[in-house]
A and B are shown apart, each in its own frame.
Chain A
Amino acid sequence: MTAPAKPPGGEGIVVVGLSHKTAPVDVRERFAVAEGALPALLARLSAKPEIAEALFLSTCNRVEVFARAEGARHDDALRAVREVLREHAQVPTHEEITSYLYEREGEEAVRHIFRVTASLDSMVLGEPQILGQVKEAYDLASSAGALGNLLGRCLTRAFSVAKRVRTETALGAGTVSISSVAVDLARSIFGDLAGHTVLLVGAGEMAEAAAKSLGKGARSIRVCNRSFERAAALAQTFGGTASPLDQLEEELVLSDIVVVSTASPTYVIGKDLVKRVMKRRRGRTLFIVDISVPRNVDPAAHEDVDNCFVYNVDDLEQTVAEGLRARKSEATRAEAIVTAELGEWNSWVRGLDVSPTIVKMRAKTRAVLHAELERSLSGKLRHLGPDERAALAQMMDAAVNKLLHGPTAKMKGENAQDLVRTARELFDLEDDREQSATRPEDEKRVEH
């Protein structure tokens, strides 16, 4: 009896999903799953006879199902997962979603899981959230009893791959969004923002967005705007204080981090104003983020005034670009780590695959030889004492070990599926590969 053919290394692992690369946000929204609905969905996946193990991952950029096919029948499992996804998204026909879904099986599925977990497939390369999201999905699937030995081990391996990538490469280094760059810079200047005041000059949408990230943890937020009403409304949102634009100098004296985003076509904050302010601040550091276009802060303030740092949109974007460039250059190293880890995973899976065959082959050989020995011991050799009998039994075991050492080593090598199949046929061994994932004790025995 021969095993069904399947791509090597995956041991029946499949992935079906969609992500920012294949589906627009309105499609992703339809597939997204609220945390509370995940257990029911996992139960539906687990109830499918074609699926042995399953995990459901739903983030804002991807919805994916990692699964292990029952009996390593990939096509059946893929079909079953597609069906569950279609029902969940309430799409009438498969054709409507086929163009958005991607499927991976075997080794490519494992590689995909490793890459996703290591943030190599993320919209923002190297972003750290995905690892936590996969871990949460893993915990949920584990507690729902949807994970078994193989997919579970694949995921724990993926976590260690992600850790290696994070510690051995700079994939997660640098900052890659304008607001996080501004926050990072503020922290690099002031350390903890808790003791510092943020001033918003201008009360538009951009100021509001900046306040959301910079205002987190700041001592207080002040809003200074041409229209006092608008300033007051925005200040109220963040529990801050408002003032009209003619109070700007006073506000600058009181604040440490200033976000400027007005629609003014000229400088709202000039160099002379900054000089006056710095004198009144007694040299305390002032960090100004000018996100308005055209610029509202005279760049000469950055050049000529001590302890005053002015960063405009271009500066922030340059930092973002540098961060992305650095991450891309690190991605090659990260991919190499994924490939190396995949190789190790394949070796481990091959061991699982071949272990039952080797165990049976050894057991059968040993049984035949011992049966022959017993016959001789009860016939021509019956005069032998217990010591001699024990020595003969030991000799038989040693002979089995020596005889099978070569074939065993070859069967555990790369691309040895044909050898394993041949051995099963030659020794007339029944196919029990499915038990392999749940029989670690066999695996241990064979390794000796």
Chain B
Amino acid sequence: MTPRIADVLFVAAALDYLVATVLFVRFLLSKTPSEKHEHFAARLVGVGAMFHLSHILTASLVWRVCPVAGVHFPMSVATMLMAAGYTVFRKRWRLDVLGAFVAPLALTAHLALRFTGQGPLDPTPRFRSAMLPVHVAMNVLGIALFSLAFAAAALFLVQERLLKQKKTMGLFRRLPPLDALDRAEHRFLLAGFPLLTLGIVTGTLFVRRVDAVTAADVARTGFGYATWLLAAGVLFLRASAGWRGRRAAYGTIAGFGFALLVLALYTFREPAKDPPKPHAVADDRALVAPVAGNANAEKGPS
């Protein structure tokens, strides 16, 4: 029964995000944009986030995996939190159209939970640690806020370019005010930075405990530091030298790019070398198998 509920919630969240994406694209490209569609799409993202959260909770119970353990759930959790954050702040900061980034990003990560990834559902003994959930949780929250900062920065650049080119009809009129985008980008980054910092600190301590460190681990750590440095740089230069607008937006987007590289390396990393205990494999298969369409369900933890 529970796997079926998880499936239903998965489909409901995906459909919500999909419809919201279509409505946002239509709003941005249509000759006669309807603000009603935009508001409806924005609300759909909130509903999608609720289904998404319910799916994560249900599926984690089915798989008996902590949502902030392996890589699949954390990615999904991060985008769910991003959608939830958007829902909370969109009205107050007049950022409805930010959903044009949030909805497809959430949809992609949500679908990725089912269709991509070869890594383990549960960390292998090499990585088992009480610090791991803290490390992942901080990073997940940080990434969620960083994603929103990225979306605001991207829209800022579009809006700023249109203003500089003096193209003040069409798309220009559908985007939020330039200052609102700049402020939102700064606030999301400011809120996400302490979490990213904690993620980096716990990650550094955690890596020091692991004996065998692979090249991918090193690259991932390097990109993680680059992400943190860029976020820190954008915030510091804004406070000290008045770097705002375009420069801050480029910095934020570059930082988010490194964060994506970290996630990509994490997602497509080599399967862990630790051989799982035979009884654990059997147990995991029994738990995962009922969830249709899950690649890991067929293979079991590697």
Q: How far is the CB of B64 from chain A (nearest CB, A)?
A: 48
Stretch from A74-82, A301-309, A345-353, A396-404 at the B interface: A301-309
Stretch from B176-184, B194-202, B218-226 at the A interface: B176-184
Besides the known contacts A188-B163, A311-B166, 12 further A-B residue pairs in the complex with CB atoms under 8 A apart? A167-B34, A174-B169, A188-B172, A188-B173, A189-B178, A189-B179, A282-B242, A283-B244, A283-B245, A284-B242, A306-B245, A319-B166
Which of B94, B166, B247 gathers most chain A CB within 10 Å? Answer: B166
Verify if A70 is at the interface (C-beta below 8 Å from B): no
CB atoms of B246 and A307 under 8 A apart: yes
Residue of A nearest to B237 (CB): A283
Residues of A close to B242: CB separation below 8 A? 279, 281-284
Given A281-B242, A283-B244, A285-B179, the answer on whether A309 and B168 have CB atoms closer than 8 Å is no
CB atoms of A309 and B163 under 8 A apart: yes
Residues of A close to B127: CB separation below 8 A? none
| Distance A174 CA – B173 CA, assembled complex (angstroms) | 8
Main secondary structure of the interface of A (DSSP, over half): helix
Q: How far is the CB of A187 from chain B (nearest CB, A)?
A: 7
Residues of B close to A185: CB separation below 8 A? 168
Q: How far is the CB of A218 from chain B (nearest CB, A)?
A: 14
Residues of A close to B169: CB separation below 8 A? 174, 319, 322-323, 326
CB atoms of B31 and A285 under 8 A apart: no
CB atoms of A191 and B166 under 8 A apart: no
CB atoms of B177 and A190 under 8 A apart: yes
Verify if A136 is at the interface (C-beta below 8 Å from B): no
Verify if A168 is at the interface (C-beta below 8 Å from B): yes
Verify if B243 is at the interface (C-beta below 8 Å from A): yes
Q: What are 6 contact pairs spanning A and B, CB under 8 A?
A: A170-B32, A188-B177, A282-B244, A284-B244, A306-B246, A315-B166
Q: How far is the CB of B198 from chain A (nearest CB, A)?
A: 29
CB atoms of A285 and B243 under 8 A apart: no
Verify if A169 is at the interface (C-beta below 8 Å from B): yes
Residue of B nearest to A323 (CB): B169
Verify if B273 is at the interface (C-beta below 8 Å from A): no
In this complex, how many residues of chain A approach chain B with their Cβ under 8 Å: the count is: 32
Verify if A318 is at the interface (C-beta below 8 Å from B): yes
Q: How far is the CB of B295 from chain A (nearest CB, A)?
A: 46
Verify if B279 is at the interface (C-beta below 8 Å from A): no
Verify if B208 is at the interface (C-beta below 8 Å from A): no
CB atoms of B178 and A188 under 8 A apart: yes
CB atoms of B32 and A307 under 8 A apart: no
CB atoms of A309 and B164 under 8 A apart: yes
Residue of B nearest to A170 (CB): B32
Residues of B close to A285: CB separation below 8 A? 178-179, 182, 244-245
Kindly list the 4 A-B residue pairs having the minimum CB-CB distance in the complex, ordered from nearest: A282-B242, A191-B177, A283-B242, A283-B244
CB atoms of B177 and A189 under 8 A apart: yes
Q: How far is the CB of B30 from chain A (nearest CB, A)?
A: 9
**A318-349 vs B, Cβ < 8 Å mask (1 yes, 0 no):** 11001100100000000000000000000000
A191 touches which of B32, B168, B180, B246 (Cβ 8 Å)? B180
| Distance A397 CA – B66 CA, assembled complex (angstroms) | 77
Q: How far is the CB of A316 from chain B (nearest CB, A)?
A: 9
Residue of B nearest to A326 (CB): B169
Please report which residues of chain A, range 268-319, place their CB below 8 angstroms from some CB of chain B when the two chains form the complex. Answer: 279, 281-285, 302-303, 306-307, 309, 311, 315, 318-319
| Distance A302 CA – B165 CA, assembled complex (angstroms) | 10
Which of B182, B238, B241, B242 gathers most chain A CB within 10 Å? Answer: B242
Residue of A nearest to B181 (CB): A191
Residues of A close to B166: CB separation below 8 A? 311, 315, 318-319
Given A187-B177, A191-B180, A319-B169, the answer on whether A302 and B164 have CB atoms closer than 8 Å is yes
Q: How far is the CB of B195 from chain A (nearest CB, A)?
A: 26
| Distance A283 CA – B240 CA, assembled complex (angstroms) | 11
Given A169-B32, A279-B242, A283-B242, the answer on whether A306 and B179 have CB atoms closer than 8 Å is no
Residues of B close to A302: CB separation below 8 A? 164
| Distance A307 CA – B238 CA, assembled complex (angstroms) | 13
| Distance A326 CA – B32 CA, assembled complex (angstroms) | 11
Q: How far is the CB of A335 from chain B (nearest CB, A)?
A: 16
| Distance A318 CA – B165 CA, assembled complex (angstroms) | 13
CB atoms of B244 and A191 under 8 A apart: no
Q: How far is the CB of A362 from chain B (nearest CB, A)?
A: 46
Residue of A nearest to B31 (CB): A170
Please report which residues of chain B, range 239-263, place their CB below 8 angstroms from some CB of chain A when the two chains form the complex. Answer: 241-247
Q: How far is the CB of B67 from chain A (nearest CB, A)?
A: 37
| Distance A167 CA – B33 CA, assembled complex (angstroms) | 9
